[in-house]
A and B are shown apart, each in its own frame.
Chain A
């Protein structure tokens, strides 16, 4: 029972060799985002929503790197989001508003936290691993709520977006959108390269059979730890972006519920494809945003107060929807896509 997610392996073919439609479409849609946004008449809102999708997509993708390829279910991944966000917030409140300072600090802090907690957590397996990563996430959450100088539980507002080399390069929503797009694209490319490399193959090997990997001379622990740290750093980067997007930093970014949502996004999109996680994040966030409105539209034949009640209780629809997705759409959205193509 310790081999979580074992039954769903990533596609056997190595990546990068053949043309793949899904990521190309995905990034094309993101690239068209600003055009869609300005055509919609609510530019700032659409941009902000899509930026949020990309940022949490980045975080979910980083989780997929260890979850989908290493079968390491981290239930404390939101902690890295928090580290990234607080690095931005704390540095900004001390006058270092430059992203060129903030991001390296955030990455270093994420790596440090990942190294220490990963080294301890990887001693355990399966559900024990889930719970110990949760424990570290909770510790960091409570630490953040006790930081009275940085707003404690209420969090703190950033005076403005981070500067880049002293200029207000990403102050506008469109510029920030492109910055997030760039981060997501580069990280995605990097993650693809990692999983296609020898390192990635060893990591997948440890997922399938770590005893055998050890027998042929690899030390699974080292590979898993390296992947955990790398994944944490990517999530830390997402945290920096999240702080800048909302211009606000709060312990609410690292609740265990948020960690659960990240796992959720990965599974919803389909494990072990990287872009599946991004699609999962998009599906989750857009559903959360629009399900109430969709229900409102669908409830046109109901009376006004019943309709309002239906909309308010949208989670009563959302919950069973999740169950149905799990029961009938194995392999998440990417699983559906693959079946659609082969069958």
Chain B
């Protein structure tokens, strides 16, 4: 394994991790502030991708499509909040799991009803569709670099929002003690709505960003939801900082581990066994990683203080 390859794989891990972060950020906020388990967060990512596909087909322009997709994703999130989630805040977690599972079933089937079961295509914008040569013969798509840049920008924006604005302060306070915030006269319902809508929009943004590189299809949010939960649990629920670090770690462990696990194992085992074991172990890596973290830190890396 050459250093260049390691570098490219790390870039891939970073890009995957940032997408995970965009989804996990909303999830961890909703969970931390509202104490609400939202399984439907994954379908909001899917809805973002579908809206992107629809607007991109309609306008024929990536930028306009993104501009239209974001507020629409926000609107879908707020609509769901008003119709379903709002009635679940004071219920226990199992009720929330069940009802939001119902939302998943409905929306997965719903997008199929509207757009058909076949995967959809979203073209990348012309000026981002080339690739740059990182090393001899190693081309890296510009669009992926754009995802990395966008992901980092959103992370920075979130950092500023959470740490240096009044709403951010309330969110932080809400994550450690929601009843107290409410008792201090803050309109907690409105805060919830803002947090919720924002989270939904972030997930929708992630979906819109990956639409040109991944296939847009029903159920695309299901597996990524599980990964997002892995991320927020490793990071510590309610912690944006934790979610950021955990997302990058999960991205790197998955991407780099997958390509280097067989090589590592070859140090101890004969090549045939190593590649077979490597193949069996690779998909388990993130789960082993999570179990290990939780073994040593049962409340994640950055547990909310309460």
Contacts and interface: CB of A to CB of B under 8 A. Distances in A.
Contact, chains A and B (beta carbon distance below 8 A) = yes
A267 B233 contact: no
Contact of A134 (B106, B226, B295): B226
Contact of B87 (A257, A322, A327): A327
A12 interface: no
Contacts of A146: 279-280
A131 B230 contact: yes
Interface string A138-174: 1100110010000000000000000000000000000
B121 interface: no
Chain B CB within 10 Å — which of A73, A132, A268 has the most? A132
Contacts of B87: 327
A142 B280 contact: yes
Contacts of A330: 95
A217 B290 CA distance: 33
B93 A318 contact: no
A120 interface: yes
B274 interface: no
Interface stretch (A1-9, A27-35, A97-105, A225-233): A1-9
B265 interface: no
B230 A319 contact: no
A4 B105 CA distance: 24
Given A316-B113, A320-B102, A139 B93 contact: no
A284 B102 CA distance: 13
A323 B106 CA distance: 10
A128 B299 contact: yes
A326 B233 contact: no
Contact of A326 (B37, B99, B112): B99
Give the contact-size bracket for chain A.
35 or more
Contact of A323 (B37, B103, B222): B103
A254 to B, nearest CB: 13
Contacts of B84: 323
B101 A322 contact: yes
Contact of A138 (B35, B222, B237, B284): B284
Interface in B74-99: 84, 87-88, 91-95, 97-99
B38 interface: no
Interface in A234-285: 256-257, 260, 263-264, 267-268, 271
Contact of A127 (B88, B93, B99, B110): B93
B93 A5 contact: yes
B287 interface: yes
Contact of B105 (A127, A134, A136, A315): A315
A127 B94 contact: no
A321 interface: yes
A326 B287 contact: no
A127 B92 contact: no
Nearest to A7: B92
Interface of B: 31, 35, 37, 84, 87-88, 91-95, 97-99, 101-110, 112-113, 222, 226, 229-230, 233, 237, 279-280, 283-284, 287-288, 290-291, 294-295, 298-300
Given A73-B93, A127-B31, A267-B95, 7 more contacts: A4-B92, A73-B94, A132-B291, A135-B288, A271-B94, A325-B98, A326-B99
